A and B are shown apart, each in its own frame.
Chain A
Amino acid sequence: MSSHVTPKKTYFAVFGTLMALTALTVAAATVDLGGLNTVVALAIAGCKAGVVIWFFMEVRHARPMTRLTVAAGILWLVIMLILLSSDYISRGWLGRSQGW
């Protein structure tokens, strides 16, 4: 349907980027950043997902409705992560639970 043909060069570039980011993940895993460990790992993973969505899934040439649909999916993921972290961040605030 899409009349646009992506040159092979783009795909190779994207693939290279993904491999580089994977290497970065491995490298980051060897360094202890304390509380930032998870944040860094998730940030790199987020970049990779973004590249896949934008280039491989052709969202950059998609029509507004398709983009809106993709955005809704991402928004829902963000909702999940934010409310999840509301638990994980505050779980220790009361100290160790003594049970009900």
Chain B
Amino acid sequence: MNAALAPPPSAPPPAETPTHYLNANYGFRSWMFTLDHKRIALLYLASITLFFFIGGFYAVMLRLELVTPAGDLMSAENYNKSFTMHGVMMVFFFLIPSIPAVLGNFLIPLMIGARDLAFPRLNLLSWYIYMAGGMLTLYAMVAGGVDTGWTMYTPYSTTYSNSHVMVMAVGIFINGFSSILTGLNFIVTIHKMRAPGLTWFRLPLFVWAHYATSVIQVLGTPVIAITILLVALERGFGFGFFDPKLGGDPILFQHLFWFYSHPAVYIMILPSMGVVSELVTCFSRKKVFGYKFIAMSSVAIAVFGFLVWGHHMFVSGQSIYAGMIFSFLSFLVGIPSAIKVFNWTATMYKGSISYHTPMLYVFGFIGLFTIGGLTGLIVANLGLDVHLHDTYFIVAHFHYIMVGGAVMGYLGGIHFWWPKITGRLYPEGWARFSALVLFVGFNLTFFPQFLVGYLGMPRRYHAYPEEFQVFNVMSSAGASILGLGYLIPMIYLTWSWRYGKLAPPNPWGAKGLEWTTPSPPTTFNFEETPVVTEEAYAYAQEQETEESH
């Protein structure tokens, strides 16, 4: 397969650096045609970081515009295009692939004792598809932008918008296949390639979370892809799916869109929960509390997540009776989410907790996700949502889930596994500092939005009444701190890649097969297939010896 890949001879000279997946071969081709899941993860890491900063650029523009009540920095049209691009970039090209495609890709084979994913070529293909979709969407942006919002509601998107809806629709459609392939690959890998002794209930919870995520990706993504195709067909060729004049129903679009896009929230948050489960046990030095409940609650979230989409449509013209059902079902999703939060807290109880950077992100995640989740119950109220729908309360709510939850988990995971990925340690002081900056900046940005939304400020306008200015200034100030909180890790992580201290195989003293490999791992991960003889997170032995003193 890899002719250039020299298998290490019987006794390599000890002074030299050992061969690993990064120095096994060099050059452009060795990356563009790699079948190594770890290298593909790094390709994803580079590209989602690019899309994150593009989406972040638009967020900066939005917050700058909203510093003053008048619409003075941007025209209404450009403002609409900016929030569309912010949403599309962040949701489809950053959040959905973030943890699965980077950390999942890198870690799942290592965690289950496999040499690669089940379908390495499909894995590489999924990255190319992702890039093709991303480039097309970027083209739509450069060519003049799209003003429909990331939700692309009909009939505006099909009939009235004069922007580049078609190009972006095709971009998102293509990108969907990348997500499906990743999910498929993970499902087959987790079923078929676990090391001997690694039973389902010995799997790390990170793997369980990704299994549940993959199920959503495989079952949900085709629906959004087809729905976007229907929009394109109606817009381009006048098929009557959504336009009432042609016998269609505009609300049908919202049904189909949210059938995927609500579960997509769980595509973003479940992997993050998986990361938190790993981190919380490692830094509490304790076996995770209620392993099976955490594992099964991931699966429950994946299933229940498909039954609640109508809560986005309480004021859309959807039947009020359907609204009642969706409202009730939405409350049910609170149960598995709460199980996780309670179990993480119980894991920390009487643990010997250390405050390394990944653990700081865990604290951030638990607190912010809880706020996001509880405000989710508020907006799931059929009556209250009439007041809160389409206000900044909603914007604050989902940013607490997606940034406070998903991104915190992502950064926590990146820090935790950074030594494994790069073979280098990051500077702990800077990392703790930036975790703190992020937490402060995040809350200053989004907490005022709860208040201003409750007071009635609608989302998606470039101008607003003067009495809302103080909240918006706070929010914009917070956003600049938040931005700083993203730039600092960007700088020191890049720096540490070259200049960081060399990492030992297991710098955290963590359990899990990935920590039994060298840092960074060799191309095929394991010299011999490992045999698993103990439960996950068997930190208990250390604890017992401590207690016996």
Contacts and interface: CB of A to CB of B under 8 A. Distances in A.
Contact of A90 (B191, B259, B309, B321): B321
Interface residues of B, number: 23
Given A76-B306, A79-B306, A86 B322 contact: yes
B319 A93 contact: yes
A1 interface: no
A94 interface: yes
Contact of B319 (A72, A79, A91): A91
B408 to A, nearest CB: 30
Contacts of B318: 87, 91
Contacts, number: 47
Contact of B307 (A65, A72, A83, A100): A83
Nearest to A99: B317
B321 A76 contact: no
Contact of B322 (A72, A80, A83): A83
Interface in A53-100: 65, 72-73, 76, 79-80, 83-84, 86-91, 93-94, 97, 100
Please classify the interface of chain A as helix (H, G, I), strand (E, B), loop, or mixed, using the class held by over half of its residues: helix
A82 to B, nearest CB: 10
B255 A86 contact: no
B315 interface: yes
A67 B203 CA distance: 25
Interface residues of A, number: 18
Contact of B321 (A79, A93, A97): A93
A97 B223 contact: no
Contacts of B322: 83, 86-87, 90-91
B315 A100 contact: yes
Given A87-B310, A90-B322, A80 B251 contact: no
Contacts of B46: none
A86 B325 contact: yes
Given A79-B306, A93-B319, A100-B386, A87 B255 contact: yes
A38 to B, nearest CB: 12
A6 B147 CA distance: 52
A73 B326 CA distance: 22
Nearest to A76: B219
B320 interface: yes
Interface string B77-91: 000000000000000
Contact of B325 (A72, A76, A83, A88): A83
B367 to A, nearest CB: 33
Contacts of A76: 219-220, 306
Contacts of A87: 251, 255, 310, 318-319, 322
Given A87-B251, A93-B321, A94-B320, A80 B259 contact: yes
Contacts of B326: 83
Contacts of A90: 319-322
A88 B251 CA distance: 10
A72 B219 contact: yes
Interface in B309-360: 309-310, 315, 317-322, 325-326
A76 B256 CA distance: 13
Interface in B177-225: 191, 215, 219-220, 223
Nearest to A91: B319
A94 B324 CA distance: 14
Contacts of A100: 315, 386
B456 to A, nearest CB: 14
A86 B321 contact: yes
A80 B219 CA distance: 11
A97 B320 CA distance: 10
A87 B219 CA distance: 22
Interface in B257-316: 259, 306-307, 309-310, 315
A86 B252 CA distance: 12
Interface string B481-522: 000000000000000000000000000000000000000000
A88 B255 CA distance: 11
Nearest to B326: A83
A88 B319 CA distance: 7
B310 A83 contact: yes
Nearest to A85: B322
Contacts of B219: 72-73, 76
Given A76-B306, A79-B306, A100-B386, A86 B223 contact: no
Nearest to A97: B317
A67 to B, nearest CB: 14
A41 B259 CA distance: 23
Q: Which 7 A-B pairs have the closest CB atoms?
A: A87-B322, A90-B321, A91-B319, A90-B319, A86-B322, A76-B219, A87-B319
Given A76-B220, A83-B309, 16 more contacts: A65-B191, A72-B215, A76-B219, A83-B322, A83-B325, A84-B252, A86-B319, A86-B322, A87-B255, A87-B310, A89-B319, A90-B320, A91-B318, A91-B322, A97-B317, A100-B315
19 contacts: A72-B219, A73-B219, A76-B219, A76-B220, A76-B306, A79-B307, A83-B309, A83-B325, A86-B321, A86-B322, A87-B251, A87-B319, A88-B319, A89-B319, A90-B319, A90-B321, A93-B319, A94-B320, A97-B317
